Structure 1
Amino acid sequence: MRRRFSLAGQTLRALIVANLLALGVISAGFILSGLSDRKDRRDEILEHMASDLGDALGFDGAGRLVLDHDADDWHERLEKDRSLQFLAFDPASGSWLAGSSAVLRAAIGDTWLRDWRQSRLALSLPDGTPLHGAIMTVSVDGRPLRVAIARADSTWDDTLSWAGEELTEEIAPSAVPALLLSLVVAYIAIRRAMRPVKAATARLGALDPTQAGDRLDEDRVPREIAPLVAAVNAAFDRVAASFAKERRFLADAAHELKTPIAVLRARIDSLADRATAERLGADIDRLGRIVDRLLTSARLEQAALRAAPLDLAALARDVVAECAPLALAGGREIALEAPPHPVAVEGDAAALAEALRNLINNALRFTPAGSAVEVTVAEAAGATVTVADRGPGLPDGLSDSVFTPFVSSEASGSGHAGLGLAIVAAVARRHQGRIEAANRAGGGAEFRLHLPRRLSAGGAGDRG
């Protein structure tokens, strides 16, 4: 499967690239600035080198001009720049520093060496390499000395070195923290900007597209995704309209079948052959139950939800008492476990009673004689009603589809159309809850109806 991309990640990466480009532009600006001032930069470097040479000079016991014992920096400079030519001259004694460049001495001449002015020079080595240099006066132990420095033109390297020093010493200490801070602020801003999207996603997961009016709020999302939210709402409206049309058709068809079934029942009852009449009467009863379930399903889906505070434990006691005679007649029992105090929820008492009644009747149909159907009311993450039996359990892969209309775990021709659990699912959905089915350890099935304590505004269909 193709990996999904992240809008937040892409935005953050774009900001990182933009900041790095800005840093690159600043670096390029420094380099260009250094190139435009390359002559001044070259002269400045030559002056620094001549000053470094003056700092490395000293006199030995015989008064001769020598490199001081701590001239390591100057030796390191000579190692780095093989084109470097230098000389040092003491006008008072006429002595030269050992190692002074003969080429440089010949190019300058004695006149310039005895002139105290600071000068610039240009010359070429015997191999034709052009050199640029400087002559200046330095003071060593109170004695004025003339020093000269010449080196090959390395404007590009010098500029890069200068730009690097400027960036690391002047720009980086402030630019890097600012860059990191901007990324942190951008990350926080992106996270905050994505909150409405995450909220809309969570809300979308709780919506029922078959119910009209249960939609995403287009005013609470960013302008950039508002068209997408509007398109989703429009798609939900089309789905809801299609379901509403289907429900109206089923309700109308069921209603129209009531009279023909009643007429057919009367004619069957008048048959002289009682055995045939009883068989046909059983079929008519089954058909009548299907029609009643269709009408009940349509009524629950279309009628306004009359939500009001109620005691779920008391409602469960009433429904269990209502179903107890049917259980006893079949040799079964119904056990109820509920808190002694009220379990307050908000909902439609009639609809919830119908859902619980269907769950109990479904369990009684499957649980064997001599066993009990267990009904439990609990307070966990809202309120929960569990109906468990000791029947054969659910076939593999049917735990989800068993709530689909006309899907039954029983074989075809059993007399049950698979509408009872679909009605339970519709009631749970309209109460912003959910229904779950699973097999029990030790055999049997368990149906768990989860309900919120309070219904959120606009989330439960139409409320009366």
Structure 2
Amino acid sequence: MTRPLWQIAAIRIVFFGLIAALAQMALVVADYYFNDEELGRLLIEQQVDQLGEGQVTNGSATRYALPDEMADLFAPGRGYFARVRTVDGTILFSACDAACEDHFLSRTVRPPDFWVRFIQPGKPLHVAGGGTVERDGQVLMVEFATVGDSEGLIWGVFWHEVLDHLVVPMSLLLLFAVGGAIVSIIAALRPVEAAAQAADNLDPLEVGEGLPTGTMPREISRLTGAVNRAFKRSGDLIRGQRMLTSAIAHEVRTPLAIIKLELSGIDSPKARKAEADVDELSDFVAQLTALARLEAINERQFQDTNLAQLCEDVVSAVAPWVLARGDTIAFEKDVEAMVLIIPSLIRDACRNLIENAVRHSPPGTEITVRVTGGPIISIIDRKRQADASMRPSDSLGIGLAIVERVLTLHGARLVQHRNATGMVASIHFNSEIPT
């Protein structure tokens, strides 16, 4: 199953956004990695802020406790040193001993708000620095130094910079880009979805203005316009074919009537056979005319109709013809079913199915027309004698085309199945009107 366009666009935006993020991350890391001065400054800033979190103020008294996450950092021999003191020079914390004098400013000097100096150039970093931290009105002088950076603290600097300058802004960008793309695509395709639903119900013979194109994107609007023009050409072609078929059928009826009249005056078995052939041809022409008339049907012709009464009338009308062919016909009903139909069309469809049952079964066949719940009209033929030479046809020809077209107009369907005794053709309607 194909994905919706908004999903495809969202996946591709996220995919290329991640590629751009990875490329940007590589640039950020490379930029900071080869800039020792900036990297050293950021490392000192980060460590000064973390060390400053250990300040505890109780009234006018200031105490200091090293944060738990930094407790192991200043163990002897690891190459990290720190000192925290007040403005007047009182030392609150020291993890450097003699190294303090080598790496930090003298206690007698009031340091600037922030300072950095490199003990040794290159990597791993050998840098010292410090800055002031103010909390609750109390100012502390915090100093930090690293010789070799054995714990790789610079990677924390990299992650902090990537998070601040890449992850957060890129996430917002992707969120709004994907969200905006999805909303825009859904809004742009809403008229396309409406046009697709309208196309399912579009009749080539009744196109009208065709599919709406007013609010569609220009490219899709052009495609929809081409579809509308194709529908119009198809409708014109079908209407022309229907008109030609109707005209031919109308013109042929008169010559056939004249031929039959002439044959009736000839006393010969061959004339009678020719008369039967002319009758079949006349029936075929009548069916062509009926098929052409179906295209003129409209909703105002539908009526609430009792199916049982309609089928009983059909059986009464065709009974003489069925009996003359040597068969029998009966009507049965289980329910009084009311449906919204065009009575004349359903009547013709039932007549077609009855005539087919008679024509495609041996003499002596019992024909039963039954109305059951559903509602369903069933035409059942039961042969009294088995005749291996008779093979019922699977097709009603033009009659089947008429029946299927009539049922399509009514939202009904034709179901046929053969059993040991004959054939059952059933018309299944979708709805019943309560009586």
Aligned to 1:47: 48
Instruction: Tell me the SS of whatever aligns to 1:294.
Output: helix
Residue in structure 1 matching 2:283, options 285, 289, 307: 289
Gaps of 5+ in 2: 57-63, 134-139, 384-390
Instruction: Tell me the SS of whatever aligns to 1:389.
Output: strand
Equivalent pair of 1:320/1:334 in contact (CA under 8 Å)? yes
Gaps of 5+ in 1: 56-66, 139-143, 393-407, 455-464
Aligned to 1:340: 336
1:318 aligns with 2:296: no
Query: TM-score, normalized by length of structure 1?
Result: 0.64
Show CA shifts across 1:244-278 (max 9, x none).
Answer: 22222222222332233233334433435x12222
Which residue identity lines up with residue 410 of structure 1 in the other structure? S
Q: 1:9, 1:146 → 2: CA distance?
A: 52
Q: 2:187, 2:141 → 1: CA distance?
A: 69
1:446 aligns with 2:411: no
Show CA shifts across 1:296-352 (max 9, x none).
Answer: 3233335777614231423333223222333444333333326436x14153x3333
Report the CA distance between 1:133 and its aligned residue: 0.9
The aligned runs of 1:368-407 (5 Å cut-off) are 369-376=364-371, 378=373, 384-390=375-381
Residues paired across the two proteins, number:
397
Aligned to 2:345: 351
Alignment CA distance shift 1:8-1:43 (3 Å): closer
Q: 1:233, 1:453 → 2: CA distance?
A: 36
RMSD value, Cα:
5.3
1:425 aligns with 2:404: yes
Instruction: Tell me the SS of whatever aligns to 2:352.
Output: helix
Alignment CA distance shift 1:247-1:124 (3 Å): same
Query: TM-score, normalized by length of structure 2?
Result: 0.67
The aligned runs of 1:163-182 (5 Å cut-off) are 163=161, 166=164
Alignment CA distance shift 1:310-1:253 (3 Å): same
Instruction: Tell me the SS of whatever aligns to 1:218.
Output: coil
Q: 1:305, 1:98 → 2: CA distance?
A: 96
The aligned runs of 1:196-211 (5 Å cut-off) are 196-209=191-204, 211=205
The aligned runs of 1:66-77 (5 Å cut-off) are 73-77=69-73
Instruction: Tell me the SS of whatever aligns to 2:216.
Output: coil
Report the CA distance between 1:237 and its aligned residue: 1.9
1:360 aligns with 2:354: yes
1:7 aligns with 2:2: no
Instruction: Tell me the SS of whatever aligns to 1:445.
Output: strand
Which residue identity lines up with residue 365 of structure 1 in the other structure? R
Aligned to 2:260: 265
Equivalent pair of 2:302/2:341 in contact (CA under 8 Å)? yes
Instruction: Tell me the SS of whatever aligns to 2:72.
Output: helix
Show CA shifts across 1:122-169 (max 9, x none).
Answer: 35459997632136899xxxxx9996634469896454232356589x
Alignment CA distance shift 1:232-1:192 (3 Å): same
Q: 1:167, 1:126 → 2: CA distance?
A: 27
Q: 2:189, 2:116 → 1: CA distance?
A: 66
Equivalent pair of 1:432/1:452 in contact (CA under 8 Å)? no
Aligned to 2:387: none
Aligned to 1:436: 414
